[in-house]
Amino acid sequence: MASETVKKILEAEAEADKKNADARRRAEEIINSAKSKAAVAVQKKLTEAMSESDKIRKENQSRLSDYISEAAAECNKTLEALESSAEKNMDAAVDSIIKGFFS
């Protein structure tokens, strides 16, 4: 009778060990699946972020190009005004020198 009880205890322990091993295996499968899904989700978000970054970079490059064009046009306009003013001042200076020389 005692051996019968010992046999049942050993069978119960073996069954418990088997269930524990099965539970550990399922837990590892769940964890590995979650890791895999998380890696895919992270990669997807990185791809989306890179795409958005490229879009913003292109928009900024376009704005910069427009700004450079506008700045160059404004500089050319200012330069033309300065050249015109310098020409007038030079003409006036030459006239003044000539008048001073011949008077």
CB neighbours of 22 closer than 8 A, spacing ≥ 6? none
* Exposure of 8 in the CB half-sphere (CA atoms within 13 A): 4
Total domain count, the chain: 1
What is the distance between the terminal CA atoms of the chain, rounded to a whole angstrom? Answer: 147
The pair of structure tokens assigned to 26 is 């399922």
Name the H helices within 1-103: 2-102
Among the residue ranges 3-12, 17-26, 58-67, the one predicted with the least confidence is 3-12
Tell me 1's DSSP state.
-
> Is the pLDDT confidence value at 37 over 70?
yes
pLDDT at 15: 93
Domain that holds residue 37: 1-103
Q: Which residue is it, tokens 């970079």? A: 57
pTM for this entry: 0.55
Residues 43-100: tens digit of each pLDDT:
999 999 999 999 999 999 999 999 999 999 999 999 999 999 988 888 888 888 888 7
